[in-house]
Chains A and B, each alone.
Chain A
Amino acid sequence: MSTATERDEVVKEPSMLKQKEMIADNYDRLTRAKELGLKVSSTYVPGNLNELVMCFDMLNNLPEINAIQNGMRKKSGGLIMDAEKMGHSEDVCTYVKADIGNMAKGAIAPNGKPMPVPDLLLLSYTGCFTFMKWFELLRDQYGCRTVMLHVPYEGDGKITQNMRDYVVKQIKEEVIPTFEEVSGIKFDIDRLRENLRKSAEAEDNFVWVLESAKNRPSPIDAYFGGVFYIGPIFTAFRGTQDAVDYYAILRKEIEGRLAAGEGPVTPEGDMTEEKYRLVVEGPPNWTSFRDFWKMFYDEGAVVVASTYTKVGGVYDYDGFRHDPDRPLESLADYCLGCYTNRNLPTRVDMIEGYIDQYQADGFLVNSIKSCNSFSAGQLMMMREVEKRTGKPAAFIETDLVDPRYFSPANVKNRLESYFQMIEQKRRGGGPPARAA
């Protein structure tokens, strides 16, 4: 449920049309849930249990995605200020404030109709402490049932059997019984297995698409394009036939670009020259998404790998797939493995691997003012990656959906300096050293 709509105005490829249709259809069902007699559960992207939610014929609504949608439609600024008027401080996560502000305005979905009041809040507490506070606010607002899935942090960089058992036990004893109660539908493990099988099929093609960036030139931009590619797999479509179809179509398109030796598609057409290959850490800025992207493609910079596209599930680094033969265990592993639930050494290791495998020229951190789960430790990560790879790194600062924290001149200045720095290092030639 990403933002294909924004991009469709410019370039229309079958995969984009397909995604647009899926999103529109999903918002349509959400806003007509009452009329259709469907129950709604709200949950977050990291650790979202879509395959399980679908077993109870319930719809999955993701507040972060709604905030992103409002950000890209330039509505989040006003919503955030509304939330601040209500007493939410300037330093609170801007997704939260955009969501709270939107609720106060009648929770209008992108199709212009009001969002349904959720029947259940599924709090998958994965990698972000703010999630808990956010749902506390929603629970207070909606007065609906809440079930919490506590996912322990991968502090030692690995999943222990104990951690897995702990998550599975909660799914069995807390999550499933609550869903059964709210939906009135009995849990059917075979239905879950079928959903997981479809997830794995889509995930294979998704990973293929991400890894296509190992080619030169890369046929995709794995950050600015990547946020569209993660749309279905990160949201309300994982485990659906729609997602399977979407990734099959997408893969075919990318295979075509690869065969033709084409670079990524941008809002202004195909990128013709690949001058810099970058690995990017951190979420993008959504309110100036196009302008931000333009600062890259205008300079010939392509992002070949990004960590943000791992925030709703890491499928490449250690080869995780949802597994119909280990249904609950693989759901647990999925939640535990989401990017922001990984410790700093693992993130550094992952980035180092990307720089190496994708033959990147450099590493860029986009640090988000109001997202501590991402930003804490990023400067240290950057230093370590620099040390290990010897590649030039840079640090820029923006925000998710608060337009006040995107300073175009400042960001552009840093990016241009960074690209010139890569160029200078690549040529390796300093001027003759002469005192002035």
Chain B
Amino acid sequence: MKCYIGIDLGSTTTKAVLMDADMEVLGQGITNSRSNYETAAAVAKQEAHIGARLTLFRRGLGDAVAGKNVDELMEDLELNIRLEQFLEQLEDLRATCASHIRDGQTGVLEALTEVFERINAEAPGMFQRGARRRSDFFRDIAGSRVMYIGEEVAKTAGVSFETLLNLYDKSIIDVENRPPEGDIAAKYRRALHRVVESDAHLKVDEKIAQEAMRKAVEMELEETYVVGTGYGRVTLPFPKEHIRSEILCHGLGAHMMYPETRTVLDIGGQDTKAIQVDPRGIVENFQMNDRCAAGCGRYLGYIADEMNMGLHELGPMAMKATKSVRINSTCTVFAGAELRDRLALGEKREDILAGLHRAIILRAMSIISRSGGVTEQFTFTGGVANNEAAVKELRKLIHENYGDITININPASIYTGALGAAAFARRAVENGAGETAA
């Protein structure tokens, strides 16, 4: 089948959306951008392919599984495939680390093996329904576990923790830049088998399900047209017609999600954009942060590092605040200094975090007003839209400044740019551009 792909190469994450000819989203994938955009694009695309296979599988199942059970099946299936992928990469990481051990360092090898065995053992727990992960990226999960378990193992085994960390540092870039290999179809079949076995209560007929899976996996997904957007777009080996500004892509993506949208706020890693779109999703006007990235997604990343927390943990902690500590600085680095100052004054972490979230949104509000303000439906996109504390502040400030406005936040909002790019890809073919895969 013909597929249209949008890839959004952001400064922090790279997203891919795979769409069919009817502009239905088949799959979406995300990965960290690393220093290698080409690999990031390949990995994100592969992730989107997993989603697409699952979508096709679900379509193929028809009503073979009772309606209420399908969602549960799909969720477990996806988690299983992710677990499978994680274990595969973990094994690659172990082997790569081991290859860096000099001959005779048997103690180190033993400790390393012990660390990876323990991570292996706890992995299924991390990919269970409802399990909380600090991040979905291999680097983040593996890195934090190696740190934590490595320290324990090093202590008892009497080897240097530094040595273990060095092995990890030497290996992780190679490992994350190696796209997963192997018989993908077999992985899907294995995952399905495991889920059918463990979720007996769903009453899935494995024969029917495996047949649907076979068809879904064997379906050829033709890359009919690819459009790239985001900061890394120029590094993509695409001809110029295959590249669109992320402002246009976010405008169009938001319009696809919510056709009544007239104002879009996107807070990405390095920039904050306010975009005004017309009823067709065409950009009328936009404003961006100037010269400096204060108040962007990276600001939260920096604060998370300063507080030694995961990015995902900031929002939930800020939600526990009982008051909001005022943070004046619009400069990311100065805000870090203010943060430490407030901590030293005895303010609670959650209250300070609430203040930091407010500071980000205040910056965004000024950019929104410069772009022309909000008059009709408003859509919030980008990674920061996943942060509940940021969303809470935004709702409050939009309400205070512009009145009773419908605010849309899609759970898949991080894919807005990639969605717009995929729509541009679909449209480019519609408008008669060459049907060549980039």
Residues of chain A at the chain B interface (Cβ within 8 Å): 369, 379, 383, 386, 392-395, 397, 405, 407, 409-410, 413-414, 416-417, 420-421, 424-425, 428-436
B253 surroundings in chain A (CB, below 8 A): 436
A282 smallest CB distance to B (angstroms): 14
A–B Cβ pairs within 8 angstroms, 23 of them = A383-B372, A392-B285, A393-B285, A394-B285, A409-B231, A410-B288, A410-B290, A413-B271, A413-B288, A416-B245, A417-B247, A417-B283, A421-B245, A425-B284, A430-B255, A431-B424, A431-B426, A432-B23, A433-B259, A434-B22, A434-B23, A434-B256, A436-B253
Size band of the B side of the interface? 35 or more
Residue of B nearest to A382 (CB): B285
Decide if B281 touches A430 in the complex (CB within 8 Å).
yes
Known contacts A397-B290, A413-B231; is-contact A430 B280 (Cβ 8 Å): yes
A394 surroundings in chain B (CB, below 8 A): 285-286
B431 smallest CB distance to A (angstroms): 8
Decide if A433 touches B283 in the complex (CB within 8 Å).
no
Residue from B246, B281, B291, B372 having most chain A Cβ neighbours under 10 A: B291
Kindly identify, within residues 212 to 254 of chain B, every residue whose CB is under 8 Å from any CB belonging to chain A: 231, 244-248, 252-253
Decide if B259 touches A435 in the complex (CB within 8 Å).
yes
Instruction: Give Cα A386 to B255, complex, Å.
Output: 23
Decide if B291 touches A386 in the complex (CB within 8 Å).
no
A428 surroundings in chain B (CB, below 8 A): 282
Instruction: Give Cα A432 to B427, complex, Å.
Output: 9
B377 smallest CB distance to A (angstroms): 13
B423 surroundings in chain A (CB, below 8 A): 431
Instruction: Give Cα A417 to B276, complex, Å.
Output: 13
Q: Quick check: is B61 within 8 A (CB to CB) of the other chain? A: no
Decide if A405 touches B283 in the complex (CB within 8 Å).
no
A410 surroundings in chain B (CB, below 8 A): 271, 288, 290-291
B267 smallest CB distance to A (angstroms): 16
B247 smallest CB distance to A (angstroms): 4
Report which of A383, A421, A433 forms a contact with B247, defined as CB distance below 8 A. Answer: A421
Instruction: Give Cα A435 to B19, complex, Å.
Output: 12
B165 smallest CB distance to A (angstroms): 33
Q: Quick check: is B265 within 8 A (CB to CB) of the other chain? A: no
Residue of B nearest to A421 (CB): B283
Q: Quick check: is B257 within 8 A (CB to CB) of the other chain? A: yes
Residue of A nearest to B19 (CB): A436
B370 surroundings in chain A (CB, below 8 A): 379, 395
Report which of A407, A413, A430, A436 forms a contact with B282, defined as CB distance below 8 A. Answer: A430
B5 smallest CB distance to A (angstroms): 14
Residue of B nearest to A422 (CB): B283
Decide if A435 touches B231 in the complex (CB within 8 Å).
no
Decide if B291 touches A397 in the complex (CB within 8 Å).
yes
A184 smallest CB distance to B (angstroms): 50
Decide if B281 touches A436 in the complex (CB within 8 Å).
no
Decide if B23 touches A436 in the complex (CB within 8 Å).
yes
Decide if A405 touches B291 in the complex (CB within 8 Å).
yes
A436 surroundings in chain B (CB, below 8 A): 23-25, 253, 256-257, 419
Decide if B282 touches A424 in the complex (CB within 8 Å).
yes
Residue of B nearest to A419 (CB): B245
Instruction: Give Cα A109 to B431, complex, Å.
Output: 57
Report which of B25, B281, B286 forms a contact with A431, defined as CB distance below 8 A. Answer: B281
Instruction: Give Cα A395 to B248, complex, Å.
Output: 16
Instruction: Give Cα A117 to B392, complex, Å.
Output: 62
Decide if A435 touches B248 in the complex (CB within 8 Å).
no
Known contacts A431-B281, A434-B23; is-contact A421 B248 (Cβ 8 Å): yes
B250 smallest CB distance to A (angstroms): 10
